[in-house]
Structure 1
Amino acid sequence: MNVQITRKCQILFFIVFSLFINNNLISQTIRGNNNVVKKEREVSQFSGITISGIFDVYISQGDKEKLIIETDDNIQKYIITDVRKGILNLQLTDNVKRLKILNVYITVKELESLIILGGNNVIVSSALTTDELEVYLGGESNLSLNVLAKKMECDITDAGIANFNGKVDFFDVRISDDAELNAFDLQVDVCKLKASGFSQAKINVINKLDMIVTGDCNVYYKGSPEIHNRVFSGGGFVIKRKLEVE
C-alpha cells in the first residue's frame, strides 16, 4: 500500500514538475509586438558572412560595410550580430517566435565567404564581383546569387536550394543529401562537380567538366565541355541539355 502511494506521489510530482517547466518555457518565449522598425548597426570591416536562423537576407556590394535590421522593435535586442576575425555573424536566439518580418540588409565591400545555416532566404540580386568566393549552404535555406568571380567553391547540403547566375571561371561544387543546385544561368568555364545522395544539379559548362556522381542524384548540364573525368555509380543519371537559341 505504501509503495502504491509513493509511486502515485512520484507520478503526481512529475506531472506538476513538467507543467511548471512547460509554463516556464512558454513564459520565456518572445513574440513580436508588430511595431516594425529599421535599425542600422555599427559594424567593422568584414569579408565573410555567417547566417544562422530564419532571416530574409539581402546582400549588396558597395563602398562601405553596412548592416540594417528590420523587425519588431522588441525583437531587435534578440538578434545577435558581431564581427570576429573579419566575419560578420548573424544569429537569432531560439526563444523568438511568430515574426512576420525579419529582414536583414547587408552591404559588403568585398565578399570572400558566405555560410548559411538554418532556414534562411538569402538574395544577392545585383552582380557580386570578387576574385574568389566560398559558399556553404545547409539546413533548409535558399540562396539566390548573382556572381562574377574567377573561382567559386560551393558546398550545398541537407535540403538547401541554390539558384546561381552570372559568370565564373572555375567552379568547384559539392552537392549532397536532398540539396538542389540550379545553375543553368551561371556560365562556367571549368567545373568540378561532386554529387551524392538524392541531390539534383543543373550546370552550364563551356570548356571542361569533371564529375563524380554517386547515389540517386541527377545531373543536367548545358554546353559542350570536354569531360576529362567521369565517375558514375548508383541509381541517378547524367543528361546533357541543349542550349536554347535566342
Structure 2
Amino acid sequence: MVAFFNFEVTLNCPRASYTTTMKKHFLTITIISAFIVTGILSSCRLKCVHGSGNQTTEKRKADDFKKVEISGAFKVHLKQDSTLGITITADDNLIKYISTSVEGGTLHIKSKKNFCDPGDMVINIGVKNLEEVKAAGAVEVFSDGKITAKDFKLDLSGATKVTLDLNAANVSTEGSGATEITLKGQAASHKIDLSGAGKVNAFDFVVGTYDIETSGIGHCNINVLQTLNVHTSGASEIQYKGSPSTVNNDKSGASSIKKVD
C-alpha cells in the first residue's frame, strides 16, 4: 500500500499554525501506518506458532562477542560479566525457534518463526566487553548493573525500548520510529541522531559534550556540562539540565530547545 500526502507550508504563517499543521501530518502518517501494520499482523497470525503457556529455561554457550543484534519481541537483560553466556526463558514449544548465533564478533538473536501470543520471552546475556546494541521491532533491552565501555553505540528502530546504566567515553545513538531510550551514568560525549517519534530520557546521564540532530516529533531530555550542539527540524523538543558554556542552536520548523532546572 502506498500513501501520498500533499504537504504545503505558507512561509509567513504563524508559528502556532505551522506547529498544528506539522502535528496533523505526523498524526495522519501514524494512523495510516498503524492500519498497515495491523493488516500485516492479521495476515501473519494465520501463519504463526502459538505459545503453549508452559515456560521453560534453556542455557546456551556463545563465542566471544562485542556487539549484540536483536530483532523480534524479546526482553533482553545485559550484564557485564567475565562469563559469557545466554539464558532464554520462553514457552517450551517456542524456545527452539529462538535463534542465537555469533558471527564476526556479533551475537545475533532472532526468531525463526512468527509467534502468536508467545508470552514473555526473556533473554539474559553475559558479556565481557560490549560496544554496540542494535535492535529492531518490539525489543526491550535492560542493563543488569552498570555497563562500562570506551566507545558505545545504540542503533534502534521500530518500537524498541532501551534502559541502560552506562559509563563510557563516547556514545553514539541512532533511533528511528517510536524508539524510547532511558540512560543514567556518564560519558565524555554523546551524539544523537533521532527521527520519527523517538524519545531520549537522559537527565540522569551526565555528558560533557552533546551533538544532537532530530527530525519529526522527537523529544530529548538531557544533562550537559560543557557544549551543546543542536540541529533540529519538524516539531522536535529538547530540554536540557546543566550550564554549558556553549550552546549552538540550529533549528527549523516548530522545534524548541529550553533549559530546565
What is the TM-score with the length of structure 2 in the denominator?
Answer: 0.81
- Give the conservation status (yes or no) of the 8 Å contact 1:47–1:113: yes
Shift of 1:229: 2.8
Name the residue aligned to 1:129: 148
* Structure 1 residue corresponding to 2:197, chosen from 147, 154, 178: 178
* Structure 1 residue corresponding to 2:209, chosen from 190, 210, 225: 190
- Give the conservation status (yes or no) of the 8 Å contact 2:61–2:84: no
Flag the structure with larger Rg: 1
Shift of 1:61: 0.4
Name the residue aligned to 1:48: 67
* Structure 2 residue corresponding to 1:111, chosen from 124, 130, 133: 130
Query: 1:184 aligns to what SS in structure 2?
Result: strand
Q: Distance in 1 between matches of 2:234 and 2:48?
A: 41
- Structure ranking higher in strand proportion: 1
Q: Distance in 2 between matches of 1:86 and 1:235?
A: 42
- Give the conservation status (yes or no) of the 8 Å contact 1:62–1:108: yes
Q: Distance in 2 between matches of 1:213 and 1:101?
A: 37
Letter in 2 for 1:178: A
Instruction: Map 1:132-147 onto structure 2 (within 5 A).
Output: 132-147=151-166
Name the residue aligned to 2:175: 156
The question of 1:208 aligning with 2:224 is answered: no
* Structure 2 residue corresponding to 1:29, chosen from 43, 48, 65: 48
* Structure 1 residue corresponding to 2:81, chosen from 57, 62, 70: 62
Provide, for residues 194-245 of structure 1, a one-character-per-residue CA deviation record: whole Å limited to 9, x for no partner: 1111110111000111111111100000101123532111112111011xxx
Q: Distance in 2 between matches of 1:195 and 1:132?
A: 22
Name the residue aligned to 1:235: 254
Shift of 1:147: 0.2
- Give the conservation status (yes or no) of the 8 Å contact 1:149–1:167: yes
Q: Distance in 2 between matches of 1:197 and 1:50?
A: 25
- Give the conservation status (yes or no) of the 8 Å contact 1:78–1:96: no
Name the residue aligned to 1:92: 111
Q: Distance in 2 between matches of 1:195 and 1:134?
A: 17
Counting matched residue pairs gives: 219
The question of 1:82 aligning with 2:85 is answered: no
Name the residue aligned to 1:16: none
Query: 2:96 aligns to what SS in structure 1?
Result: helix
- Give the conservation status (yes or no) of the 8 Å contact 2:49–2:113: no
Shift of 1:52: 0.1
Shift of 1:29: 2.4
Provide, for residues 107-151 of structure 1, a one-character-per-residue CA deviation record: whole Å limited to 9, x for no partner: 110000110100011111411001010111110011001100001
Letter in 2 for 1:111: L
Provide, for residues 56-93 of structure 1, a one-character-per-residue CA deviation record: whole Å limited to 9, x for no partner: 11111000211011011111111111000000000013
Shift of 1:188: 0.3
Q: Distance in 1 between matches of 2:127 and 2:67?
A: 9
Q: Distance in 1 between matches of 2:144 and 2:204?
A: 13
Q: Distance in 2 between matches of 1:146 and 1:157?
A: 21
The question of 1:38 aligning with 2:57 is answered: yes
Shift of 1:169: 0.7
Provide, for residues 156-175 of structure 1, a one-character-per-residue CA deviation record: whole Å limited to 9, x for no partner: 11000000110011111111
The gaps in structure 2 that reach 5 residues or longer are: 1-41
- Structure 1 runs (4+) deviating above 6 angstroms are none
Query: 1:81 aligns to what SS in structure 2?
Result: strand
- Give the conservation status (yes or no) of the 8 Å contact 1:156–1:179: yes
RMSD over aligned Cα atoms = 1.6
Name the residue aligned to 2:18: none
- Percent of aligned pairs sharing the same letter: 26
Shift of 1:101: 2.1
- Give the conservation status (yes or no) of the 8 Å contact 1:197–1:217: yes
